[in-house]
Each structure stands twice: as C-alpha cells, then as structure tokens.
Amino acid sequence: MINIKVLQTKKLKELIQEYPFIVNYFDDNKLIIEGFENKTFKEFLEHFSEEEIEEWAIDTEKLEEGLVIYINQMLQFLGIEEHFGVDSLTIIGGEDKSGNKENFDKITIYKSEIISIVGPTGSGKSRLLADIEWAAQNDTPTKRTILINGESPDKKWRFSSGNKLVAQLSQNMNFVMDLTVNEFLELHAKSRMVENEDEVIKNIIDAANHLAGEKFNLDTPITSLSGGQSRALMIADTAILSTSPIVLIDEIENAGIDRKKALNLLVNSEKIVLMATHDPTLALMADKRIVIRNGGIYKVIETSDDEKQLLHELEKMDVVIQNMRSNLRKGEALDKTILSHKYMVASK
C-alpha cells in the first residue's frame, strides 16, 4: 500500500513510469500535467491560482487522497503487490547442521550492495538463499530470522503466490513455453502495465545480448536458447522490468555470460544482490562475502584493499580466458604465443 508521502516525494514522470494507469485518473479529473512531469503531484496542484481553484471547484486535498486510493485499488485489482522502498536486508543468526549457534549475531545488507556466499559444495549456501527467499522467521531448519528495513516482513511477502520481494536466478533455467523471446517479454511487460512496452523490450534484448556469449533476437524461440542465453535474458529482464528489490543468484559462473557486466547491470538497478559462488573473481567483486561451514554462517569478510588489487589481476586473467573461449568457438588454434600476446594486451 502506498501513502500520500509518495505523491509528495516522487516526480510525476516517476509515478507514471511505476503506475502507468494513473493517466486515467488525470484524464477523469481533467488534470493536464504536460509541462509538469518533473514536479511532484503536490507541486502540480500548488500551481493553480486561487481564482482557478474557486472557479473550477478544485479540492487539492481530495485530489491527493483520491489518487492514493486509486493507485492502491488498481494494484489490488491487478493483483500487483507493492514492494518498493526496500533499503536493507538483515539476517539474524540461527544454528548450523549440528545445532551449534552460528558464529555471528546479525548481518545487514543495503541496496546496491553485492554479497557473495562461499563454502564447499553441500555446506549450506543454497539453504541461506532459500531462507532469504522465504523471509525465514525462525521457522526453517537453520532457525534464522530475516528482516526487511529492520522489521519483520509482511506475511504476504512470505506466503503469497505472487511474491515479488525476491527474484531468484537458479543454476538451471529451462523454458518450456512455446513462445518467442518477444512474446515472452511482451507477457511480462503487459503484466507490469508498462506504457513504453516496445522500448522496454528493446532495452532488455540489447542488455541480454551485451551479456551473452552468442547473440539472439526477438524472434528466437525461448526453448532454443542456450543456458547462457537463457541466463542473460533473465538477468536483463530482472534488472530492467522486475520490481523485485532482492536478487539471489546461484553459481552465475556456470552461466556462459559476462559476469561482471551482469552484476553491474543488477547493481545499477539499485537491487540487493546475493550470489552463491565458487569463483574467486566473483567472490572478490562483492562488497562482503559470507563464509558457510556445516550449514551455518562461519564468518563475514569485507573485501580488503589487498583483495581488490588481487581482483584486478584476476580480471586480467579472466579477459585472457574469455578471449581463448571466443577463439575456440571460432575454430581457431591456440598456442603459447597467442596466450602471451593476449595476456600482455589484457595487462595494459
């Protein structure tokens, strides 16, 4: 549910982008907002003179209250849950597989932060992601508690089939619908009541091809996409069209995409990003990393300046490996001379 404060802080163009159906409210009330797109609704109402207010019987308070009611009723009618304004995610410690208390009290993660989750296979990385996805309240095997903005999350975020608090990108993403990429994106865009649908779809496909090793187009059947192309499409879709403020990624290193570009795309969308990974490059791209042992959080490590310097070297090596993969796809021969040359180029 939104409140009147939203109308007093967000510009009209931002409101229309998030709730495109409100243009009907403006039309019904004969409110001409052209030229006021960079103003708030409150500021727009304040531009009327006393004479205009009296002549046209304008009740600014009633118009503000009416718009809030209209938006909330439309969201309820459309079945769209409102989850904007998630600034932080807090994990409160539970216990490991042996029943021992986890080695921390609580961790708070803020919007636009990247957190990596590391540990041996089977240690409990996916369990932590699951606890976050279901907003655990001391009711999962780990007995962890998840807070949103420092508070217990609303129950509808936990149990609603339309839960949009979290978008999870799993290791295996296989489409079964007989649709083209364009038809798939159109369905999602329509469900979000997007006004500039064609532009949004173009932005998603452009972003996806920026991430994918091999490009695809809007006419491509989604069932024929490779694993890397599928992951690239869903990451781009999540960053640009999804309203989910929290993104959980499980082993993006196996996706066959440009990992750094993918993370940057998600962070630029002001989302909280958590990723389970075995890749040292990805782990060091994060602001912090959570270390899992025996099903519990063993410690939390902030990425140090020394590690950031190491990351720079790892990224140069990664460029070499990506170039080698590209050469393999092209059927080119690989030899030490090419490797040496590419490393020198990457190091510059």
**Residue limits of CATH 3.40.50.300 in the chain:** 88-303
| 10-residue mean pLDDT series, the chain (348 residues) | 73 86 89 91 91 88 89 74 70 95 92 90 90 91 93 70 68 68 89 81 91 86 85 87 83 66 80 89 91 95 93 84 78 70 48
User: Residue 14: which of 24, 3, 22, 26 has the closest Cα?
Assistant: 22
Which are the contacts of 179, defined by CB distance < 8 A and separation ≥ 6? 187, 221, 222
Total length of the chain: 348
Q: Is the dihedral of CA 269, 275, 277, 283 positive or negative?
A: positive
Rounded CA-CA distance 219/201 in Å is: 12
Which are the contacts of 79, defined by CB distance < 8 A and separation ≥ 6? 162
Q: What is the dihedral of CA 127, 132, 136, 141, to 10 degrees?
A: 10
Rounded CA-CA distance 225/229 in Å is: 6
User: What phi and psi, each to the nearest 5 degrees, are found at residue 176?
Assistant: -120, -10
Which are the contacts of 18, defined by CB distance < 8 A and separation ≥ 6? 10, 84
Helix axis angle, 227-240 to 197-211, nearest 10°: 140
Q: How would you classify the pairing of strands 246-250 and 272-276?
A: parallel
Please, what's the b/e burial string for 260-275 (b: 16 or more CB within 10 A of its CB; e: otherwise)? Answer: eebbebbbebebbbbb
pTM confidence score: 0.65
Q: What is the dihedral of CA 43, 44, 45, 49, to 10 degrees?
A: 100
Helix axis angle, 197-211 to 259-268, nearest 10°: 150
Q: How many CB atoms lie within 10 A of CB 333?
A: 7
Rounded CA-CA distance 39/43 in Å is: 6
Give residue 310's identity as a one-letter amino acid code: L
Which are the contacts of 252, defined by CB distance < 8 A and separation ≥ 6? 169, 231, 259, 262, 263, 275, 277, 282
User: What phi and psi, each to the nearest 5 degrees, are found at residue 22?
Assistant: -70, -15
DSSP string, 198-223: HHHHHHHHHHHHHHBSS---TTSBGG
Which are the contacts of 207, defined by CB distance < 8 A and separation ≥ 6? 236, 239, 240, 265
Question: 282, 275 in Cβ contact below 8 A?
Answer: yes
* CA-based end-to-end distance of the chain: 52
**Helix, coil or strand: residue 279:** coil
C-alpha 343: how far from its chain's center? 33
User: Residue 102: which of 128, 121, 83, 80 has the closest Cα?
Assistant: 128
Burial of 175 (0-12, 13-18, 19+ CB in 10 A): middle
Give domain 88-303's CATH number out of 3.20.20.70, 3.40.50.300, 3.60.15.10, 3.30.70.890.
Answer: 3.40.50.300
